[in-house]
Amino acid sequence: MKRLLGSVRARATLAATVVVAVALVAAGAAVLFSLRVTLIDKADAEADSVARNAASALANGFAYDKLVLPDGDENPVEVLDRDDKPVAVGEDVEGMDVTSVASDRLNSETNDDADDSAEGDRDAEDEGKLRATEVADETWYGEGTATVEGETADYRFAGVDVVTPAGVPLTVYAGAPLATEEDAVGTALTTMLIGLPLLLLTVSGVTYVVTGRALRPVEGIRSEMAAITASEDLSRRVPEPDTHDEIARLARTTNETLAALETSVERQRAFVADASHELRSPIASLRTQLEVGAAHPELLDLEGAVEDTVRLQSLAADLLLLARLDAGERPPPDARFDLAKVVRQEVASRAGVTLDSVESVDLRGSRNQVCRVLGNLLDNAARHAHDRVEVTLRTIPDWAVLQVTDDGSGIPPADRDRVFERFVRLDDSRARDDGGAGLGLAIARDIATRHGGTLTIGDAPGGGALFELRLPR
């Protein structure tokens, strides 16, 4: 059962069936109730008409035995005196049980008597008017049974009071058969009991088929994702339905996720390959120097070994920082520092760099990481500048703008995005020891992005490259 209900298709079918069943039961009950009320009202009207016809005849002076009463099978009639003794009975009527009508009538008269006592006794003129009321305006209704020609059936009865010209108070009870109401309600109930299961089966079947067709693209997406997982081929894509519904958007989003994942994996593979390549050269050089020094101490290039060790240490630090940035490391939300102070300290430690800076710029973020960005930009500018490196720090609404310019040959527009890729060096003929591993600008842009800022390249006014770092204030 749990496995069956684990299917969206099965749950949707069950939910639709339950909702339709509840709606049909409620609607059926309302229809049956409305039908019964309508038929009872019709029976009450029929019984009231028969009772008032007989009451009018009595009020007009007809003798009991002269009354023309309807056939008992259709409308049983009984006329009772104040002692509830029958003085006239319809044809073939053997007995009538009008207890419910008489009880309602008695309760009504008791309440009327109580009201009259509270108001005081009426005078003789009022009593005379009461006796002169030959046929009462009020009719009492109720259900009971009547026996006609030996057969007892259910009827709806109406009771009407009448006073004859001789001043004799009588009560006329007339009935209307409930067989029609019972047959109609029974037929409707039987039809509903037969039709409801058939309709529910139809709804279940249609819902199951329609839901299956609607979920067919989802199954295609699932099976393709399972195949991608098994094959580890991220170049594959899930089928996109030619629709504009939620499933089509799910497929498009899934393919976008796969594309981003494929790019990330390819980037990671390239990063690992490039890192291995970059590490191989200094490690091999250092090993060679140590092996030569071990065999011939007098030939040991100690200065070169130290340089290779420093280079390895710097590369390892860059790789570790990139790994932390790729893992989503962000600066603490409450960390703050003065960017102008950081810029002045960094520039003061370098020769040949001029500074044009504001007094103070308070920023939120990691002081060490932003200092790393500035250091990488200054290192890059120093490698390419002929004579001059300039640093400018200014503020505009909502932003702090840091510019580093050099008077070198600049960077072609076609390469301005590529220089931010990892392990990219535009000057392939440049020696590795002079040019680094090609991680500085990649690290700088990643840090700028993590701080909600940007790092772009432009042309310096006097020629050369202009790196502009924008950080939110």
Query: Do 25 and 91 fall within a single domain?
Result: yes
The CATH number of the domain holding residue 349 is 3.30.565.10
Domain range spanning residue 151?
Answer: 1-230
- Let me know whether 146 and 85 are in one domain: yes
Which of 303, 329, 355 represents a domain boundary (last residue)? 329
* 343 shares a domain with 225: no
Q: What pLDDT is recorded for position 21?
A: 92
Residues 162 and 290 in one domain: no
Buried b (16+ CB within 10 A) or exposed e, 407-436: bbebbeeeeeeebbebbeeeeeeeeeeebb
Closest by Cα among 166, 134, 139 to 59: 134
Assess whether 70 and 91 both reside in one domain.
yes
Among 279, 294, 329, where does a domain finish? 329
Residue 76: per-residue pLDDT: 92
Looking at residue 1, its pLDDT comes to 53
Residues 323, 409 within the same domain: no
Judge if 41 and 182 occupy the same domain. yes
Instruction: Give the domain-ending residue among 173, 201, 230.
Output: 230
pLDDT tens digits, residue range 262-285?
888 887 787 777 777 777 777 888
Whether residues 272 and 154 share a domain: the answer is no
Do residue 302 and residue 450 come from a single domain?
A: no
Residues 260 and 186 in one domain: no
64-73 burial string, b = 16+ CB within 10 Å, else e?
eeebebbebb
* DSSP, residue by residue, 11-58: HHHHHHHHHHHHHHHHHHHHHHHHHHHHHHHHHHHHHHHHHHHHHHHH
Kindly provide the residue ranges of all beta strands, DSSP E only, lying in 117-209, ordered along the sequence.
140-148, 151-163, 169-177
Give me the pLDDT at residue 427, please. Answer: 59
Q: How many domains, the chain?
A: 3
Please tell me the predicted confidence (pLDDT) of residue 115. 53
| 144 and 113 co-located in one domain | yes
Give the span between the Cα atoms of 44 and 60, in whole angstroms. Answer: 24
pLDDT at 399: 93
How would you classify residue 382: left for phi > 0, otherwise alpha for psi between -120 and 50, otherwise beta?
alpha
Q: How many helices (H) and strands (E) does the chain have?
A: 11, 13
Q: What angle do CA 104, 109, 113 make, to 5 degrees?
A: 150
What's the CATH code of the domain at 283? 1.10.287.130
pLDDT by position in tens, the chain (length 473): 555 566 788 888 889 999 999 999 999 999 999 999 999 999 999 999 999 999 998 888 888 878 888 876 788 999 998 888 988 888 888 888 888 777 777 776 666 555 555 444 444 444 444 354 578 888 989 988 999 888 889 999 999 999 988 888 999 999 999 988 888 989 999 999 999 999 999 999 999 898 888 888 888 888 989 998 898 888 889 888 888 888 889 999 999 999 988 888 887 787 777 777 777 777 888 888 888 888 878 777 777 778 778 878 888 888 888 777 777 777 777 788 999 999 999 998 888 889 998 888 999 988 989 999 999 999 889 888 888 899 999 999 889 999 999 988 888 888 888 888 877 776 543 344 455 667 889 889 999 998 899 999 999 887 889 999 999 98
Q: Are 75 and 92 in contact (CB under 8 A)?
A: no
Residues 240 and 196 in one domain: no
Q: Tell me the pTM.
A: 0.52
